[in-house]
Amino acid sequence: MKVSKICLLSIAGVLMAASALAIETTAKNVLVMDYDTGEYLYEKDAYEPIPPASMSKLMTVYILFSKIKDGSLSLEDTFTVSENAWRKGGAASGSSTMFLPIGANVSVEDLIRGILIQSGNDACIVVAENIAGSEEDFAVMMNEKARELGLKNSHFENSTGWPSPEHKMSVEDLAILARHIIKEFPELYPIFSEKTFTYHNIVQGNRNPLLYTMSDADGLKTGHTEEAGFCLTASAKRGDRRIISVMSGMGSNKERSEEAEKMMNWAFREFNNYKVFKQFERVLTVPVYMGVENEVDLVAKEDVIVTLPRNLAKDAKLTANYTKPIKAPIMQGDKLGEVVLSVEGQKDRVIPLYADHKVEKLGFFGRIKANISYFFFGK
């Protein structure tokens, strides 16, 4: 058995002459992610569990959106405001509030806007109590969902992000959660970009500063407590690309706005997405031994897109590896090789390759003939 290596063409064509300039930020915890590829463009203490403040309301909304998507709730359904929700989450607590009156029946649609635009703690508690019976039981649901989504450094004690010693999330987990929300709920996601919402004759503005300074920003959620500092989970779409950025630990709203915009613009400017292969496009053809066909095409099962610094993309190299001879029978979809994408200074990316069709094994006499041919001619 022999491993064959084939050098393919560089993936980059004519690229902008840009440099992947280093960047610094005053934020304590940061993750910048390309939405399409999920690749991390910038990390700074991204895996540390930290107080997420109101950014943890994204999990409350994720659970609510999931119930709307599966049909167990509708936007027109109403939830009742308990005294507990009014007292713990309302103006009497000095917290962010939707100003919900005790005993009111509030539509799910209004509660969503109360959470996303007004950051209402009362709206979160109403959602938690009406879905799970209590905020404590809703926190159990939040933790179960976090495990399902692969959030490794998150633990929830409440629906609001109210300070609690064990209530933690990492900025990586927040970025992953934001990506799920954008991908899974395209019909509801535009609510994040609405700038104002009026409830009970009280007008409140969206607290996301990027909505007012970046025309392509469209979400997601701010947070602020004394311990967490000023925080932001943000998303912006520019052309075909979307960037998600999560930042925490800043000292003021002004700093939060400036640092978030700086990191977003840097990510759009210094990186680009490159399509390496199209789904089911032939990458290479390899020989088949003992098959009714002498060769089979290897393909990628899906579009392969990578995010690279613009100044390094032109030097990216692709090397295809497979073990030969490949012996029949071969089933369609069998993994028969891989392509390694190499970029200077970055970890190699490995792209698996699969047989594009089935190749039957030769019959008895055909195998004898093939063995003789292989013995004398090596093919």
For residue range 237-270, list pLDDT tens digits in order. 999 999 999 999 999 999 999 999 999 999 999 9
pLDDT at 18: 34
My answer on whether 146 and 245 are in the same domain is yes
Active site residue 254: no
How much of the chain, in percent, has pLDDT values that exceed 90? Answer: 81
Q: Tell me, yes or no, whether 20 lies in a domain.
A: no
Contact 109, 75 (CB under 8 A): yes
Of 33, 283, 16, 281, give the one whose Cα is nearest residue 177: 33
My answer on whether 51 and 125 are in the same domain is yes
pLDDT at 20 over 80: no
DSSP string, 54-101: GGGHHHHHHHHHHHHHTTS--TT-EEEPPHHHHHHHSGGGTS----PP
My answer on whether 235 and 352 are in the same domain is no
pLDDT in tens, 24-46: 999 999 999 999 999 999 999 99
pLDDT at 323: 85
Q: Tell me, yes or no, whether 19 lies in a domain.
A: no
pLDDT in tens, 59-89: 999 999 999 999 999 999 999 999 999 998 7
Q: Tell me, yes or no, whether 257 lies in a domain.
A: no
- Count of CB atoms within 10 A of residue 243's CB? 25
- Beta-strand pair 217-225/271-277: unpaired
Three-class SS state of 329: coil
My answer on whether 202 and 284 are in the same domain is no
- Structural domain of 95: 29-250
Active-site pick, 56, 82, 96, 119: 119
My answer on whether 288 and 139 are in the same domain is no
pLDDT at 375: 47
Q: Tell me, yes or no, whether 255 lies in a domain.
A: no
DSSP string, 248-290: EEESSHHHHHHHHHHHHHHHHHHEEEEEEE-TT-EEEEEEEES
Can the peptide bond before residue 101 be classed as cis, meaning omega within 30 degrees of 0? no
Active site residue 107: no
pLDDT at 370 over 80: no
My answer on whether 10 and 44 are in the same domain is no
My answer on whether 373 and 294 are in the same domain is yes
Active site residue 82: no
Q: Tell me, yes or no, whether 312 lies in a domain.
A: yes
Contact 111, 85 (CB under 8 A): no
Domain count, the chain: 2
Looking at residues 165-175, what average pLDDT do you find? 98
My answer on whether 281 and 315 are in the same domain is yes
pLDDT at 14 over 50: no
Q: Tell me, yes or no, whether 269 lies in a domain.
A: no
Q: Which of 183, 216, 250 is the last residue of a domain?
A: 250
Active-site pick, 28, 57, 88, 221: 57
pLDDT in tens, 280-323: 999 999 999 888 998 999 999 999 999 999 988 888 999 999 98
**C-alpha to C-alpha distance for 364 and 377, rounded to whole angstroms:** 20
pTM of the model: 0.88
Residue type, 248: S
Of 375, 355, 365, give the one whose Cα is nearest residue 288: 355
Q: Look-up: residue for tokens 């959620």?
A: 221
Active-site pick, 28, 54, 145, 154: 54
CA angle, 240 as apex, 237 and 246 as ends, to 5°? 35
My answer on whether 140 and 288 are in the same domain is no
